[in-house]
Structure 1
């Protein structure tokens, strides 16, 4: 069953990812043909050719690295820097107008936006699961600033800076992308006399020295769940298994991952009892934590927080959906360009490897969530490709506007140097984010097959 699931996820991910690339390149291809331009190659992927077919003078190829694609157009600046210069230069080709170049350049991003609307329309009719796991605060450190301000375990976050917060995901997204680290957080608390609502100004801090994205210092209320048991660790020696729900350590009941980590540091490397819930039964185990880099560790990679989704039917309207995705993309770029305030840097971006892993997680969870992620991916492709950077569609558009307005071309030698420089920079950026995806975010691939998600529904707006 695991093998079949893996095959299904892998095939679905590649098809969905390839569809976004295909529709983008098809936009360039279609408009280039309309403008009477010569098309030498239509390629999905980069690198070594895995499959090829020639028809009507066009070479159609599928290449080894599924990180993008290209349409080779001799009458425009092409990806010759990457794929090699065309050796057949005997055929004279007519000049094309700057406006034709612009039309071809913007056609790819426009097709991505159109495809995003098509997907969003499908989602509207089939419904969309939305997170309803409430952001309930877990066990608090009594020495923390938040505890001293009056925040307690069981409090529910309902608003941050006046915006309604339905889930931890939304809370983290808002704080991470904001240029401030101070937030007005509104809580609800169940008391004997009813529900009490109060607001406190809290400080968000970086996750760690390495991970500088800032989060509120409020632990989620859920028992830590063992995901992957690491080889040679104390957990494996004690008999812990994947999906064990850790309920106590040394007799201390646990309500959050943070509470477990704190209890481990206090316990040190002393042998102690750890109680877990396994298949509905409570199991007690003896564990001896180890000291690793001055930190007490038990050798467990925790599973993600269990999430509950309810199907919104009909789903969000296509305009609402695409507009929300574009707004999120804009907020992300804004946060990236204000790294000093937000802590969001290039290392926090995901390349093709990370995108494939996230898409795989959604495919396994629910096809509607995968389609919604594809809406995000297509809008991102459109926006990023329209950045005014040479070798991107936005760069071609700027150069076309320059030619059309000033009626002169950018010197070929200068253009060649600029193209090479930005090609090297983009390839370096891709290599950097891919390195982080593979070596720094190995948990992404673990989460593909270990995300604990419950889908409920459907529901309607009247419910």
Structure 2
């Protein structure tokens, strides 16, 4: 169980780190301030600030996020009437606003906020030392820090470093980068699997071997034979070969193959088996394997393509009949992680690769609040050639967040029933 827990935390951590780093990297390149980069959710257990970004690790290893300036409107948490503590520099500009109860290393000025503008005007007004006879205005430094109520220290978000101040192409790239990183991670992991395995199966119509007492052995097929046709159906690779054999309508068929340059034809009776309630046929052959560099690279790419195709196929099937069993949340991922650990390191790597490409594709679905929903709004903005009203965008994203929260609760409850009861 301990191995499963460690693997689960590592898998979730890697997925989140890679996904969020995509948003982070392209936001930085576009001049957008990344106020916080968090791994995990809930109460923070560690934080450090570097180059304007606060890096945090939070208690619950079930997600993470980046907070981009201008996309966390309520993050400043300032309100008229709120008591804060200010620190000033030599030019009497505010360099730190403390909204929490935690004591500061250096003494500050107690102020009760009356009004403020931390976006354009960069000022704050309030009653100093609760002296309500005079409202005092303070200039706020462009790079001033703000300590939030939970003690998290972040930069303020002036207009020029906010997300919506970036160009449309930059914003689209920021929104797409998380999923892109997941695809890159999946491809790298699949290629890595190809080099970690002693040999990799190659997608060829050449046989790697035949099973004992199988139809293939009965008719004299050998390793190295190249099957070119099953019945009248031409086959050029292993995928076509196995699919054609499995879906053959009659057990009695003919196999055309090439051995030492000579083309031969042999009648054969296939073995009938039942899979998923359907009758399929088997010839009893093994796939050829290779240790060549090019074949290992090709194996990684083919596994990546197959995983993507499998996920899109599953999404298509969901359109015809949706069930909560088609989705899985943290509980399902934990249960599958437990199964993957039984196959050792390679099993965990393979599962991580599948999960990464799955996360990338799911995030690109055109659902509000997901990256795909944000990209859809970007495309609409490009078509109408003007910014989408912030109020409308906020409502759309709020609807998406509510939908996703409800869906997550339903999926989690369903997963608990499936895996823990």
TM-score calculated relative to the size of structure 2 = 0.59
CA distance in 2, matches of 1:7, 1:345: 32
- Of 126, 131, 140 in structure 1, the residue corresponding to residue 196 of structure 2 is 126
CA distance in 2, matches of 1:61, 1:313: 45
Matched-pair contact (CA < 8 Å) for 2:200–2:290:
no
Q: 1:216 aligns to what?
A: 277
What is the match of residue 306 of structure 2?
324
Q: Does the 8 Å contact 1:44/1:69 carry over to 2? A: yes
Unaligned segments of structure 2, at least 5 residues? 79-116, 120-157, 202-210, 212-238, 253-266, 280-285
Q: Give the equivalent residue in structure 2 for 1:197.
A: 270
Other-structure match for 1:50:
45
Structure 1 unaligned regions, length at least 5 = 1-5, 135-160, 172-182, 189-193, 205-214, 219-308, 444-463
In the alignment of these two chains, the number of paired residues is 282
Asked if structure 1 preserves the Cα contact closer than 8 Å seen for 2:318 and 2:326, the reply is no
SS at match of 2:69: coil
Of 314, 332, 347, 1:369 maps to: 347
Q: What are the equivalent positions in structure 2 for 1:183-332 lying under 5 Å apart?
A: 196-197=269-270, 215-216=276-277, 314=291, 317-332=299-314
Native 8 Å contact 2:368 2:399 kept in 1: no
Match of 1:110 in 2: 180
1:379 counterpart = 2:374: no
Structure 2 residue aligned with 1:164: 242
Q: CA shift at 1:14, angstroms?
A: 1.1
- Of 11, 16, 23, 2:11 maps to 16
Partner of 1:356: 334
Q: Does the 8 A contact of 1:347 with 1:432 survive in 2?
A: no
CA change 1:313–1:198 in 2 (3 A) is closer
Quick one: distance in 2 between partners of 1:412 and 1:335? 35
Pair 1:390 & 2:368 matched: yes
SS in structure 1 at match of 2:270? strand
Q: CA RMSD in A?
A: 3.7
Deviation at 1:328, TM superposition (A): 0.4
**Alignment correspondent of 2:230:** none
Contact 1:42 1:61 in 2 (8 A): yes
Of residues 310-319 and 118-127 in structure 1, the stretch that sits farther from structure 2 once superposed is: 310-319
Q: Which portions of structure 1, spanning 4 or more consecutive aligned residues, are displaced by more than 3 angstroms?
A: 128-131, 183-188, 309-316
Cα distance change of structure 1 residues 21 and 312 upon mapping to structure 2, 3 Å threshold: farther
Output one character per residue of 1:344-398: Cα deviation in whole Å (capped at 9) or x when no partner.
5233311122112212321232211211111111111111111122211112212
Alpha-carbon deviations, 1:163-183, whole Å to 9, x = none? 7379xxxx9xxxxxxxxxxx8
CA distance in 1, matches of 2:278, 2:166: 58
Name the structure 1 match of 2:167: 97
Task: Give deviations 1:94-135, integer Å, cap 9, x for gaps.
Answer: 22211111011111111111111211121011118999xx9x
Question: What is the distance in 2 between the residues matched to 1:385 and 1:45?
Answer: 18
**Contact map agreement 1:129 1:311 (CA 8 A) in 2:** no
**Counterpart Cα distance in 2 of 1:398 and 1:40:** 25
CA distance in 1, matches of 2:324, 2:199: 30
Corresponding residue number in structure 2 for 1:86: 76
Displacement, 1:184?
Answer: 6.9
1:428 matched to 2:418: no
Q: Distance in 1 between matches of 2:361 and 2:330?
A: 16
SS in 2 for 1:53: strand
Q: Distance in 2 between matches of 1:129 and 1:328?
A: 24
> Residue 22 of structure 1: CA displacement?
0.4
Query: What secondary structure, in the 3-state scheme, does the structure 1 residue paired with 2:159 have?
Result: coil
3-state SS of paired residue (1:40) = strand
Aligned match of 1:144: none
CA deviation profile, 1:33-60 (whole Å, cap 9, x unmatched):
0111111111122222232222222121
Scaled by the length of structure 1, the TM-score of the pair is: 0.54
